[in-house]
Amino acid sequence: MIKLILSVLVIGAISLFPGTAEAAVMGPSMQKLTWHYYKVYNTCENAENFVRHQVEKFYKNDTSIAPKLLRLLYSDCFVTGCDASVLLEGPNSERKAPQNRGLGAFVIIDKIKKVLEQRCPGVVSCADILNLATRDAVHLAGAPSYPVFTGRRDGLTSDKQTVDLPSPSISWDASMAYFKSRGLNVLDMATLLGSHSMGRTHCSHIVDRLYNFNKTGKPSPTMNKSFLSEMANKCPPRTKKGQTDPLVYLNPDSGSNHSFTSSFYTRVLSNKSVLEVDQQLLYNEDTKQISEEFSASFEDFRKSFALSMSKMGSINVLTKNEGEIRRDCRRRN
């Protein structure tokens, strides 16, 4: 059934954009945006090329920008929508929320914005830059170069109290409810969690799985025993105040290469997921089938990723006269 659903989505995408197998199905929010907006309206014809060139320069020196930008985009879109509010600075801004500890890649967006302001002043939004830069970075890491519809405007507020990003130990039901609240479905959830095929997380996000699963005082009973031992060596119990909080790879198979790969799903099926929210994919029949399919077919994962990323990028976007086009992504005009 899941295979059929995925096939229908991909066929629908191809019909929207003939010759582009990695195109997006347009939902109501996405219809507010425009394919190649800055070229169509002749405001900054080469905007997307400028973004891509800067991302390529950064990526050559640091492949970790791909997962960093992915997390930054997720942290933006899933809170108040894709309005670049996470980029705003301030003592009570979104980036100060506990869930956003360790967010990176701000300097990349700042650099791209500076370049675009030199070439097309006051035209390209920070929200569009974040979406385009993320697409280009993950493409360099092995993901598809999915279409990013543009024309977003930047939000005027950023409040850490609005940040409701869930715990990495969230249950399947709670995770599904969270994704549904953002207009995304079960296939989107299973696909977007595949972003954890690269990047790192703090040990504090997984010690409950290793030592006190569901407050039992014991490790997760489903976690692969050899992997449990491996992770316990890297993440000791948190027993002392001021204890260091090491970083571990979300997908040890990808590791420092930060490559986009379907091995994430193979690890899910082998009970070797680092985060509990990822392992939960195995405990629902639909997401288990999706994981099996993506583990067997990297191309199916790539196609679904293209669709789901385009959908995520259209969550609660601001367009036309809403918001503003920031001159500096860190502060309002």
Single-letter amino acid, residue 159: D
Annotated binding residue 45: no
Annotated binding residue 85: yes
Annotated binding residue 188: no
Residue 302 appears among annotated catalytic residues: no
The DSSP code sequence of 101-156 is TT---HHHHHHHHHHHHHHSTTTS-HHHHHHHHHHHHHHHTT-------B--BB-S
Annotated binding residue 94: yes
Annotated catalytic residue, options 52, 71, 95, 152: 71
Q: Where are the beta strands (DSSP E) in the chain?
A: 200-202, 247-249
Annotated binding residue 22: no
Annotated binding residue 205: no
The DSSP code sequence of 34-57 is BTTHHHHTTS-TTHHHHHHHHHHH
Annotated binding residue 300: no
**What burial class does residue 322 get, using C-beta atoms within 10 Å of its C-beta: 0-12 exposed, 13-18 middle, 19+ buried?**
middle
Annotated binding residue 252: no
Annotated binding residue 81: yes
**What burial class does residue 226 get, using C-beta atoms within 10 Å of its C-beta: 0-12 exposed, 13-18 middle, 19+ buried?**
exposed
Single-letter amino acid, residue 141: A
- Known binding-site residues equal 76, 79, 81, 83, 85, 94, 166, 196, 253
- Known binding-site residues for substrate equal 166
Which positions are catalytic? Answer: 71
- Known binding-site residues for Ca(2+) equal 76, 79, 81, 83, 85, 94, 253
- Known binding-site residues for heme b equal 196
